Chain A
Amino acid sequence: MTLKSDPAVEIEDSSSPAVVAPSVPVPGAPSDLELMLAIQAEDPEALSQLYDRYNGILKALILRVIHNETEADDLLQEIFMEIWNQAKNFSAQKGKPLGWMVTLARRRAIDGLRKKQAYARAEERLQSETEQQPEAWVNNATQEEIAFGDTRVLVREVISRLPPAQQEAVDLAFFRGLSQREIAAHTNTPLGTVKTRLELGLKKIYDGLKELKDEL
């Protein structure tokens, strides 16, 4: 299978609160789904295009987990290789290509963090970064930025509506792969409180994304 040059029709689950890709492909460029199908047919050019489209997002995700530039680059390469090797397991009926890639990248990054026993070092770096930038994950978006329709800003705006304690709980769970008990220990917070924060935080983000999708 080779890539078509025709404009793509992206198959999306209309019930999902999914958000649009950060870099919208130029008109006529293959959709993410078409690229995935081409990768399944072992077309290297499709992987090349998918890399160009999403390496920045996936690198940011990996970096957020492991806090090491060199390791993040190595892992990024491994993840795209895994995308190539595991593409046959992707099913459009279960979700969008970006969601599949992010899930894969997050799992690999968290595994990498644990395997390399860099946990303690990352924690120190994170602690240092948190002290320097207490709201490093999300900053309040301006209305002007929102008006530009930048997806990242819109998503961050949804997340920034959360109280800091809920943001922290979601951040530790998603970007560091901590369990509720680990979050409770890390933040010196009762387990029940952590669960409530996660439940409320995730529900607000989920509902916010639904609204966002309607607006978009």
Chain B
Amino acid sequence: MSFEEFQNDARLYVIGALEQEETEEFENARKEFGQKGEEYIGECYALHEAFALSLQPAKASADIKSRLMAMVQERKKS
């Protein structure tokens, strides 16, 4: 697998769109490309952030935060 092919697959990989057999091939190439490959995969995760930021923010129910913080305080005590 060339590095260009690896880059193509890396973008599919981070969104979970590789088929199983492709994933195995990708994982083998990942080992081959080492640090350079890992850095590229890391960059691809910016796609996740971008897709989330493309959405209009939604309003959460008002009591979610208070329930969350109560759970956190409870967890801290235990």
Contacts and interface: CB of A to CB of B under 8 A. Distances in A.
Contacts of A158: 50
Tell me what chain A mostly uses at the interface: helix, strand, loop, or mixed: helix
B72 A138 contact: no
A59 B58 contact: yes
Contact of B16 (A73, A96, A173): A173
Tell me what chain B mostly uses at the interface: helix, strand, loop, or mixed: helix
A209 interface: yes
Contacts of B76: 42, 44
Nearest to A179: B19
Contact of B68 (A80, A99, A198, A199): A80
Nearest to A73: B61
Interface string A196-207: 001100110110
Interface stretch (A2-10, A47-55, A112-120, A122-130): A47-55
Interface residues of B, number: 39
Contacts of B73: 44
Contacts of A174: 15, 47-48, 51
Contacts of A64: 55
A100 to B, nearest CB: 8
Chain A interface residue bracket vs B: 35 or more
B26 to A, nearest CB: 13
B78 to A, nearest CB: 12
Interface in B34-60: 39, 42-60
Interface string A87-123: 0000000111011001101100000000000000000
Given A47-B69, A48-B65, A179-B17, A202 B47 contact: yes
Interface centre among A73, A98, A105 (most CB of B within 10 A): A73
Contacts of A25: none
Contacts of B53: 19, 22, 57, 151-152, 155
Nearest to B7: A203
A56 B60 contact: yes
A199 B11 contact: yes
A58 interface: yes
Nearest to B73: A44
A13 B73 CA distance: 33
Contact of A206 (B44, B52, B60, B68): B44
Given A95-B46, A181-B19, 20 more contacts: A16-B43, A16-B46, A17-B43, A22-B53, A55-B60, A59-B57, A59-B60, A73-B60, A77-B64, A77-B71, A95-B45, A103-B45, A103-B48, A137-B54, A156-B54, A159-B54, A173-B15, A174-B48, A180-B18, A209-B47
16 contacts: A15-B39, A18-B46, A19-B49, A57-B57, A59-B57, A60-B58, A61-B52, A81-B71, A95-B46, A151-B53, A152-B53, A173-B12, A179-B19, A205-B50, A206-B44, A206-B47
